[in-house]
Amino acid sequence: MSFDSLGLSAELLRAVSDQGYDEPTPVQKQAIPVILEGRDILAGAQTGTGKTAGFTLPLLQRLTESSAAPGGAGRKPVRALVLTPTRELAAQVGESVETYGKYLSLNSTVIFGGVNINPQMNRLRRGVDIVVATPGRLLDHVGQGSLDLSSVEILVLDEADRMLDMGFIHDIRKVLKLLPNRRQNLLFSATFSAEIKTLADKLLDSPTLIEVAHRNTASELVAQVVHPVDRVRKRELLSSLINNEGWQQILIFTRTKHGANRLAQQLVQDGISAAAIHGNKSQAARTRALAEFKQNKVRALVATDIAARGLDIDQLPHVVNFELPNVPEDYVHRIGRTGRAGNEGEAISLVCVDESSFLRDIERLIRKEIPKVVVEGFEPDPSIKPEPVFKPRGGAGHRNQGPGGRAGGNRNQGPGGRDGRGGPNRNSSGARGAGRPGQRSSRGR
């Protein structure tokens, strides 16, 4: 099937062809015709499935097919709003809107926190058709009178599950109240939790359900392994694996910003070029770290879940969980960075005695037992007792996120408050701790 049969205009097909795409991806095949009909959709699609073009292309077309209702105060009205959980994702979606809309005369802008609000205000005052935004800063603009959402015809919630995880539900509700009742709604989510279903029921009008197979699932393309190790020896094991196995381009996850910073510094001390990327870093620092990583100038990128979400980095050979996430779905998102598009990938988790319940929840979620391999010389000391790992403050309701954080607010990473604690031959010790098939985590989110 080619793009030509989807009903897209010549200008959009030209932009698609400029990108070198031959064929629509499964989510594009399903979503584009339905969106062009003006229907609401509920789409289960992860990053990497081509979902952004899946909603951007038909959105652009629908805006060109009709003209805007007259806006107030002579300003051109905002006709489409795309909400994203993070700055990075907002920037990427904004780029896609520009890329696919390059032969059209629609204007767009990207709005997120952590940067000066004034240039965004000036841009909005000049009038834009499409706004791509994180929720907090979007509401700041509404509060300051620089943005009017009363003419929005199409609303997209991208990575809605992550927005809820990050505590944006109250902001989303506020935004919904500012929109006209008659509009088209497109909801994209990698997972369908009870909260997402509640949101979808409230938001969507007879939606078409679109579900595409993930380009990779935890159990398929990615080789997963757990290395049991003592809490205090994780970093030593990590450096040893990186050097002895000759790994290049490693994405490493920690639970906290502090943990990410510390680990990056320690890796550098061990002679491994590394950078940390998280919500407390300026946008410029994050962009720079990512660019250096992509160019192989930095070998290890140490990230928190929220900072990594939405980053255009995938097909990595190695993803390392220096600490397991306390939210099992985050494990799936993390390891989805490797093994994309049929490439072999490896997800390595360094797990200490404190994290057994996290591991159990993950294995239940992925319905698979992850092989446990003790690395010679790093055998865990059985006399070490588990220590509690702090729970994140406030969980889903906590509104202290970096990406999309309000101007002037505390831009701490969302699940903050957790205390990051932070040539070997591999020697299989057999697997333990089987997950119960069919049982999902009961951790309420």
Q: Which of 12, 35, 49, 203 binds ligand AMP (CB under 6 A)?
A: 49
Is 281 an interacting residue with respect to ligand AMP (CB under 6 A)? no
Is 44 an interacting residue with respect to ligand AMP (CB under 6 A)? no
Is 53 an interacting residue with respect to ligand AMP (CB under 6 A)? yes
Point out which residues pair with 240 in neighbouring strands: none
By beta-carbon proximity to ligand AMP, the closer residue of 287 and 429 is: 287
Cα of 154 vs its chain's centroid, Å:
22
Query: Measured from the CB of residue 45, what is the shortest distance to ligand AMP in angstroms?
Result: 7
Residue nearest to ligand AMP (CB): 52
Q: At what angle do helices 51-65 and 87-100 cross, to 10 degrees?
A: 50
Radius of gyration, alpha carbons of the chain: 22
The Cα-based distances of 85 to 161, 260, 310 in angstroms read: 9, 21, 8
Is 259 an interacting residue with respect to ligand AMP (CB under 6 A)? no
Query: Measured from the CB of residue 93, what is the shortest distance to ligand AMP in angstroms?
Result: 8
Is 24 an interacting residue with respect to ligand AMP (CB under 6 A)? yes
User: Helix H segments across 211-355?
Assistant: 234-245, 257-269, 283-294, 305-308, 328-335
Query: Measured from the CB of residue 391, what is the shortest distance to ligand AMP in angstroms?
Result: 31
List the Cα angle 422/427/432 in 5-degree steps: 70
Q: Which of 143, 170, 92, 119 shows the shortest CA–CA distance to 401?
A: 170
Joined together, the tokens standing for residue 31 give: 């979503």
By beta-carbon proximity to ligand AMP, the closer residue of 50 and 325 is: 50
Q: Which of 50, 345, 404, 405 binds ligand AMP (CB under 6 A)?
A: 50
Is 321 an interacting residue with respect to ligand AMP (CB under 6 A)? no
What secondary structure letter does DSSP report for 351?
A: E
By beta-carbon proximity to ligand AMP, the closer residue of 52 and 412 is: 52
Query: Measured from the CB of residue 320, what is the shortest distance to ligand AMP in angstroms?
Result: 23
Q: Is 208 exposed, middle or buried (0-12, 13-18, 19+ CB in 10 A)?
A: middle
Q: Which stretch binds ligand AMP (CB under 6 A): 20-28, 101-109, 238-246, 402-410?
A: 20-28
Query: Measured from the CB of residue 90, what is the shortest distance to ligand AMP in angstroms?
Result: 13
Buried b (16+ CB within 10 A) or exposed e, 301-332: bbbbbbbbbbbebbebebbbbbbbbbbbbbbb
By beta-carbon proximity to ligand AMP, the closer residue of 28 and 413 is: 28
By beta-carbon proximity to ligand AMP, the closer residue of 93 and 389 is: 93
* Distance (Å, whole) CA 67 – CA 70: 9
User: 81-120: which residues touch ligand AMP (CB under 6 A)?
Assistant: none
Q: Which stretch binds ligand AMP (CB under 6 A): 19-27, 188-196, 252-260, 291-299?
A: 19-27
Query: Measured from the CB of residue 28, what is the shortest distance to ligand AMP in angstroms?
Result: 6
In the block, which residue shows the tokens 């390392």? 320
Joined together, the tokens standing for residue 298 give: 């930095």
By beta-carbon proximity to ligand AMP, the closer residue of 56 and 401 is: 56
Is 51 an interacting residue with respect to ligand AMP (CB under 6 A)? yes
User: Helix H segments across 320-431?
Assistant: 328-335, 356-366
Point out which residues pair with 189 in neighbouring strands: 44
- How many residues make contact with ligand AMP (CB under 6 A)? 12
Point out which residues pair with 43 in neighbouring strands: 188, 210
User: 193-232: which residues touch ligand AMP (CB under 6 A)?
Assistant: none
Q: Which residues here bind ligand AMP, judged by CB under 6 A? A: 21, 23-25, 28, 47-53
